[in-house]
Structure 1
């Protein structure tokens, strides 16, 4: 039998508002446990919630960026369930009237094929607290309780781990670009619930789905999809009965484990939240928010290809990170060379960031300084080799490349007469190696260049070195 995987995702996004969704407590990450709390977010008797308007604005902004229909009438509901980190024993969320419906995002697969992933709904809700386990006890930190969330519910349009990851990456790119969330998975501000089932390819009926909760990395999402697909296929082939259930990812053993049978909507006893007024959203509000949405990833990518003549790959990487894209454009404005700018950013700078596990904005590198470095190389003031050597100083110290070159005496030597004398001296001292080179040991050419650059302390113009070295060997040693 041939099977098809069917995937839908529920993506929970923490909004980067300064205060919580129903009270004035701070949402700052990393505070001491249970210090950012009040009677409202602790669910104490008599405490009344007040909806944070910024959360509503961010929800509308997200819906518009994801091509959703925005509700003109919406309301909050209570979702009743008991869990230790839920201080109220219910969650304030949205059931029948979510703020956004029927959107879509487009992903581009590795083979270049594009696919539209439907979004069923987006709704607002409050987060729960956090359980902290050790070997003997479990503690609860309620700082996160009441942090505003958007839940983005996709349609079951994905069929592989690749598609699921591309979809979440696209969401993350859009959400960070429009400024509603930092989407830091390592801090829990973007979490994914995976709904997955398998069915025979020819069947029109969907399989029995399992929900894997709270996946907080792309690696775990990929592993969970692949493991759960194989688990379900094996169960079907062995004539085992599958049932709807909620599972968790065991990262130590790389398996999913059953937690409980999957709840249905009626199990939560949804009913309207009586302490929060219904909302009427006007056309003017929607249009005002729409006007604040910046250029999105796919729009930026197309423009970069057309305006800067970038490759599809380079444009894709830059456009996914709006900060990196902005840095690239500022660099180009400074040096007027898009090809050199993208080569430095995608090459040496990316290597430095990856090796040091840093984001660009965590360094002292300025676009103006990178542009200045590129111009120094273009104007043959320094060589690209020298440029690479001083790049770390520019990144870590934030100094001007001109100042570094002046301080360290690194101005490139373009004096052909002086370079020729240097070349003749090296060839004269190493005539045995010249003979070996002429007899076919071609890799010695690189050795000669290295010796010249060493003697010049890296200052000799490489193009002049190559031109004069070849000429000297051909004319005086053959």
Structure 2
């Protein structure tokens, strides 16, 4: 069915959006939430499983203490209150990717609650109130084979991999996010981005949205302008990139408005987001909490973190990412635009490590946001996976600073690094890339260039020093770009003075 979409500006004239964001974060513990199976990404299907995470009769779960610690640290970083006593519950539903036919989660007694996270969008600060951050386990992964959409509809058959079933999850749920108006899509993106940075700084997850270790469910509703009653919401499930979070909010606002303006009613349902075109499609009618028949998990004891332990964990919290960025920008001397570009490229950590290895901040920024970023985009990988390390970037820059390389030759060194040809020094030797700085060969090349362009030589003798650029270019060509351009310029002026 073709959706009727309303222009975004018209949506804002007639409706007020309300959002609720549910972010699932897979923790990087060594083992699963309730058993000793490895909690790793990938692996042959159904190899990291045991009777407990497969839900076999008689198997008994045990809580992963490291996961509880990570949950408390996330809660503290989000300015939440930490429960003195909480417990797990069974969330009952039949889905083939949940082998027990229920999910062990938390319901009315979460580990962390009543927090907030401030985000800035176009100079305006929005306080996103956190309702809860609770512990649960992930589901398995279903792969639907056949058909054209990869969905269960139209598939010939489905395969289930239970390796992911039981991976520790923290679900962070916001309260309704109101009064964002036209900035609603940007606020949603900024919040998920800030949350990702915060969790990454805590070191409790790799927050790889592309691998599903962090994903967002986007709840969206519209209410008539000025109404104090929330509209019916849709929930777009498992949105797995920052850009897609923004697009999902924008699309759902336009779709809801199309339904409401035509006199229809929005169905409370889950939706699938399509990366290819930024649209959503219907999933299943959304259940309310009572439909899951929650009841306390009888096989797990309650969790009661002592106040002393909570304060010990509070002392381990890192510098908040927003404060860290302000400090780094001042230390590095970056303009607001330069810092924004570095943040958007997810290059802050890489630049910091490169500076720590001895490179100047501007030089580190230049290489990561130009040459290396270009190669990462061409390969379709994240910057951190581009194939070169901060230490190698710093080493290349040190060779430039020492006069061994120029930027052109440095790019050839990066060619060698990406090809796995060894260290920068080894690549320079193998490829013969070092700058020619010995005056003898340079003077010979200068004499040849002057003889070939006598008119240029006369201009230089007449005081037009800028004309020497043509001679420098000729020498660079003769030396295959390996001449020290600054030394060549100096020798030309001395030769013709």
TM-score for the superposition, normalised by structure 2: 0.84
Which residue of structure 1 aligns with residue 141 of structure 2? 130
Shift of residue 430 of structure 1?
3.7
Shift of residue 142 of structure 1?
2.1
Which residue of structure 1 aligns with residue 9 of structure 2? none
RMSD between aligned residues: 3.2
Between 26-35 and 52-61, report the one with greater CA deviation.
26-35
Q: Please, which of 248, 260, 281 is the counterpart of residue 236 of structure 1?
A: 260
Which residue of structure 2 aligns with residue 276 of structure 1? 300
Which residue of structure 1 aligns with residue 200 of structure 2? 176
Would the alpha carbon gap of residues 449 and 122 (structure 1) be closer, same or farther in structure 2, given more than 3 Å must change? same
Would the alpha carbon gap of residues 296 and 395 (structure 1) be closer, same or farther in structure 2, given more than 3 Å must change? farther
Which residue of structure 2 aligns with residue 370 of structure 1? 393
Shift of residue 93 of structure 1?
0.8
Aligned-partner Cα distance in 1 for 2:341–2:318: 18
Q: Please, which of 311, 316, 324 is the counterpart of residue 335 of structure 2?
A: 311
Give SS of 1:186's match: helix
Partner deviation per Cα, 1:54-109 (whole Å, 9 max, x = no partner): 11111011112222221111111111222222222221111111111122223232
Work out whether residues 131 and 141 of structure 1, in 8 Å CA contact, stay in contact via their aligned partners in 2. Answer: yes
Partner deviation per Cα, 1:386-417 (whole Å, 9 max, x = no partner): 22322332454474434444555444344567
Work out whether residues 364 and 398 of structure 1, in 8 Å CA contact, stay in contact via their aligned partners in 2. Answer: no
Aligned-partner Cα distance in 1 for 2:417–2:106: 50
Would the alpha carbon gap of residues 235 and 58 (structure 1) be closer, same or farther in structure 2, given more than 3 Å must change? same
Which residue of structure 2 aligns with residue 121 of structure 1? 132
Which residue of structure 1 aligns with residue 114 of structure 2? 102
Which residue of structure 1 aligns with residue 486 of structure 2? 463
Give SS of 1:257's match: strand
Which residue of structure 2 aligns with residue 187 of structure 1? 211
Aligned-partner Cα distance in 2 for 1:397–1:167: 38
- Residue 89, structure 1, aligned to residue 104, structure 2: no
Which residue of structure 2 aligns with residue 331 of structure 1? 354
Between 359-368 and 344-353, report the one with greater CA deviation.
359-368
Work out whether residues 99 and 123 of structure 1, in 8 Å CA contact, stay in contact via their aligned partners in 2. Answer: yes
Between 51-60 and 21-30, report the one with greater CA deviation.
21-30
Q: Please, which of 174, 186, 189 is the counterpart of residue 154 of structure 1?
A: 174
Work out whether residues 372 and 386 of structure 2, in 8 Å CA contact, stay in contact via their aligned partners in 1. Answer: no
Shift of residue 466 of structure 1?
4.3
Work out whether residues 449 and 465 of structure 1, in 8 Å CA contact, stay in contact via their aligned partners in 2. Answer: yes
Aligned-partner Cα distance in 1 for 2:98–2:171: 17
Work out whether residues 173 and 320 of structure 1, in 8 Å CA contact, stay in contact via their aligned partners in 2. Answer: no
Aligned-partner Cα distance in 1 for 2:256–2:457: 68
Aligned-partner Cα distance in 1 for 2:359–2:186: 37
- Residue 286, structure 1, aligned to residue 310, structure 2: yes
Aligned-partner Cα distance in 2 for 1:315–1:93: 40
Aligned-partner Cα distance in 1 for 2:357–2:276: 49
Would the alpha carbon gap of residues 459 and 67 (structure 1) be closer, same or farther in structure 2, given more than 3 Å must change? same
Aligned-partner Cα distance in 1 for 2:255–2:334: 43
Aligned-partner Cα distance in 1 for 2:388–2:88: 45
Partner deviation per Cα, 1:125-184 (whole Å, 9 max, x = no partner): 112222221231122222222111111112232652222222212222222221211222
Give SS of 1:263's match: coil
Which residue of structure 1 aligns with residue 151 of structure 2? none
Would the alpha carbon gap of residues 314 and 283 (structure 1) be closer, same or farther in structure 2, given more than 3 Å must change? farther
Give SS of 2:163's match: helix
Give SS of 2:110's match: coil
Partner deviation per Cα, 1:13-34 (whole Å, 9 max, x = no partner): 1111122111112222222222
- Residue 67, structure 1, aligned to residue 79, structure 2: yes
Which residue of structure 2 aligns with residue 223 of structure 1? 247
Shift of residue 285 of structure 1?
1.3
Partner deviation per Cα, 1:167-220 (whole Å, 9 max, x = no partner): 212222222221211222232222211100123343332222111122223344
Work out whether residues 209 and 244 of structure 1, in 8 Å CA contact, stay in contact via their aligned partners in 2. Answer: yes
Aligned-partner Cα distance in 2 for 1:268–1:452: 77
Aligned-partner Cα distance in 2 for 1:361–1:243: 41
Aligned residues: 469
Give SS of 2:448's match: helix
Segments of 5+ residues of structure 1 without an aligned counterpart are: 438-442
Aligned-partner Cα distance in 1 for 2:133–2:489: 62
Which residue of structure 2 aligns with residue 440 of structure 1? none
- Residue 450, structure 1, aligned to residue 473, structure 2: yes
Work out whether residues 354 and 364 of structure 2, in 8 Å CA contact, stay in contact via their aligned partners in 1. Answer: yes
- Residue 390, structure 1, aligned to residue 413, structure 2: yes
Aligned-partner Cα distance in 2 for 1:265–1:229: 25
Work out whether residues 301 and 316 of structure 1, in 8 Å CA contact, stay in contact via their aligned partners in 2. Answer: no
Which residue of structure 2 aligns with residue 140 of structure 1? 160
- Residue 166, structure 1, aligned to residue 180, structure 2: no
Give SS of 1:388's match: helix
Between 365-374 and 55-64, report the one with greater CA deviation.
365-374
Shift of residue 230 of structure 1?
1.0
Between 376-385 and 423-432, report the one with greater CA deviation.
423-432
Aligned-partner Cα distance in 2 for 1:207–1:401: 60
- Residue 9, structure 1, aligned to residue 21, structure 2: yes
Aligned-partner Cα distance in 1 for 2:100–2:426: 60
Shift of residue 306 of structure 1?
2.1
Give SS of 1:390's match: helix
Aligned-partner Cα distance in 2 for 1:471–1:5: 71
Give SS of 2:266's match: coil
Between 361-370 and 185-194, report the one with greater CA deviation.
361-370
Which residue of structure 1 aligns with residue 42 of structure 2? 30
Between 450-459 and 119-128, report the one with greater CA deviation.
450-459
Aligned-partner Cα distance in 2 for 1:330–1:246: 42
Give SS of 1:73's match: coil
